[in-house]
């Protein structure tokens, strides 16, 4: 049966003491804030946003040219946005999913698969070289079927993916439940390459590496405007500014400095829970010794994984859009979504009934209509942006940052020649149509999950025009 959407009253007790902050950020090892910018400074490259995209851009730029003057601006603290709030799934896939890439860029997909593997290897090499303690673990990820219709195409998935250079494995019900034991599982597809890590500690490690290389970081410094001047751009902040020859914009789900981007990005709120550490008996009841990530195969899906200290992170399902690109801290807690998530957790793992959640949080995902990162330029090529990761940016953000630097430097290479890089997603309509489109799509996906995956006329129309709301 599909997941029930009405939380049982006793389940809500599991949330009673949950802190409304991201688990990863609730860490005494969190670095002290960098100074905020006062006055005006100059830079060869100014990067706006110290999430993963901005951090990778800063580090890669300094590694490529140690003499480059790089300034990194962050309105909050490093990793305080989506980079420190996510599940820590670090995927090699650059196209959100294999099927999404196949439907949009089939001719480029073998190259995109290869580049994705190379990108993930480069992340691992960076973690090792800079000794970043982020619980980097190549445990892989299982996508599990919980309904018979979800299982139908799984056995053929590995052969189909292999023809494009992607490694997948099919596991039947017994094999799947031997790895992670839930009575809801019918089978799974396993990707052995996916990495699990602590996203906040990765962000802090990249921050340290950048500072050691000479990046100038200013936190608590919000960029309030951009304007062109001879030889570059001026980035205005609340107490000063930066004169830069080039600018990399890495604000993602945050309200963009360029008005043109408002039609391409909608901030969609995702919510997550973290349990208390499991006892030995609880852990034995579910297995999960290999610590792989797990996601279910519904259109509205859950993602979940274990942490180094023996907890379970459980997130996803709801993807909430608030009117007129609503954004802000007041939207990061949603009691209804937390209750629904908790109930779904116990439907999946009834043997863990009684366990408590210690953290419950939410955050905005930079969602675009094609579900994966896109790029663009402004001010005659002096500014480049990358955004739209749609929830899979932990790994793809390094690739996004590298392409940003390529474009800023006028590079003509395999990356910049990709159609994926040269094309943009379809824009979202203005309000009130925007809310209508997003909420009708959410309702339709819920109905598809309750009707053996059958997509209604609305979803089929979106598929036909290239919007393809399938995840």
Q: In the 8-state DSSP scheme, what is residue 429?
A: P
Say if residues 212 and 111 touch (Cβ distance below 8 Å).
no
Between CA 57 and CA 34 the distance in angstroms is 18
pLDDT along the chain (471 residues), means of 10: 64 93 96 96 98 98 98 97 97 95 96 98 98 98 96 96 97 98 98 98 98 98 96 96 98 93 95 98 96 93 97 95 94 95 96 96 95 97 97 97 98 98 95 90 80 80 67 46
Tracing tokens 């994984």 back to the chain, one arrives at 305
Rg (C-alpha) for the chain, rounded Å, is: 22
Nearest Cα neighbor of 157 from 141, 143, 147 is 143
Which alpha helices (H) appear in 303-386, and where do they start and end?
335-348
Between CA 85 and CA 363 the distance in angstroms is 7
Between CA 189 and CA 365 the distance in angstroms is 25
pLDDT of residue 292: 97
Say if residues 161 and 100 touch (Cβ distance below 8 Å).
no
pLDDT of residue 471: 46
Tracing tokens 């690109």 back to the chain, one arrives at 325
Indicate the SS3 state at residue 41.
Answer: strand
Tokens of 199: 């996203």
Tokens of 149: 């219709």
The b/e string for 205-241 (b: 16+ C-beta within 10 A; e otherwise) is: bbbebbbebebbbbbbbbbeebeeeeebbbbbbeeeb
pTM of the model: 0.95
Tracing tokens 């709801």 back to the chain, one arrives at 318
């Amino acid at each position: 049966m599909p997941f029930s959407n009405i939380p049982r009253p006793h389940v809500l007790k599991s949330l009673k003491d949950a802190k409304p902050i991201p688990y990863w950020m609730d860490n005494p090892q969190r670095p002290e804030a960098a100074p905020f910018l006062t006055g005006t400074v100059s830079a060869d490259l100014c990067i706006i946003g110290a999430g993963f995209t901005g951090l990778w851009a800063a580090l890669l730029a300094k590694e490529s040219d140690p003499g480059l003057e790089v300034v990194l601006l962050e309105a909050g603290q490093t990793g305080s946005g989506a980079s420190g709030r996510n599940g820590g799934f670090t995927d090699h896939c650059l196209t959100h999913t294999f099927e999404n890439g196949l439907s949009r860029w089939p001719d480029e997909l073998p190259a995109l698969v290869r580049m994705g593997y190379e990108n993930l290897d480069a992340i691992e090499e960076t973690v090792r070289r800079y000794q970043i303690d982020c619980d980097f673990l190549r445990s892989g990820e299982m996508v599990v079927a919980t309904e018979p219709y979800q299982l139908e195409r799984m056995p053929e998935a590995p052969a189909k993916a292999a023809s494009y250079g992607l490694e997948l494995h099919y596991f039947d019900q017994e094999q799947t439940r031997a790895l992670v034991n839930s009575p809801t599982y019918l089978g799974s597809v396993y990707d052995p390459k996916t990495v699990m890590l602590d996203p906040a500690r990765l962000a802090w490690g990249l921050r340290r590496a950048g500072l050691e290389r000479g990046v100038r970081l200013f936190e608590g410094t919000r960029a309030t405007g951009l304007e062109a001047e001879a030889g570059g751009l001026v980035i205005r902040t609340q107490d000063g500014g930066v004169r830069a020859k080039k600018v990399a914009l890495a604000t993602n789900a945050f309200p963009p400095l360029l008005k043109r981007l408002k039609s391409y990005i909608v901030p969609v709120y995702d919510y997550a829970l973290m349990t208390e550490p499991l006892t030995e008996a609880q852990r034995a009841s579910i297995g999960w010794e290999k610590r792989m990530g797990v996601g279910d195969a519904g259109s509205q899906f859950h993602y979940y994984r274990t942490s180094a200290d023996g907890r379970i992170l459980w997130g996803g399902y709801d993807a909430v859009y608030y009117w007129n690109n609503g954004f802000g801290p007041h939207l990061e807690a949603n009691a209804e979504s937390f209750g629904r998530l908790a109930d779904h957790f116990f439907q999946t793992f009834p043997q863990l009934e009684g366990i408590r959640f210690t953290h419950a949080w939410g955050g905005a995902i930079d969602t675009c209509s094609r579900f994966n990162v896109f790029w663009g330029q402004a001010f005659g090529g002096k500014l480049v942006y990358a955004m739209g990761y749609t929830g899979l940016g932990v790994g793809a953000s390094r690739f996004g940052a590298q392409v940003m630097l390529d474009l800023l430097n006028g590079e003509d290479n395999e990356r910049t020649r990709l159609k994926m890089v040269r094309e943009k997603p379809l824009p979202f309509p203005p309000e009130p149509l925007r809310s209508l489109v997003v909420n009708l799509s959410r309702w339709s996906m819920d109905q598809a999950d309750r009707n053996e995956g059958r997509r209604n006329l609305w979803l089929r129309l979106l598929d036909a025009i290239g919007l393809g709301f399938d995840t």
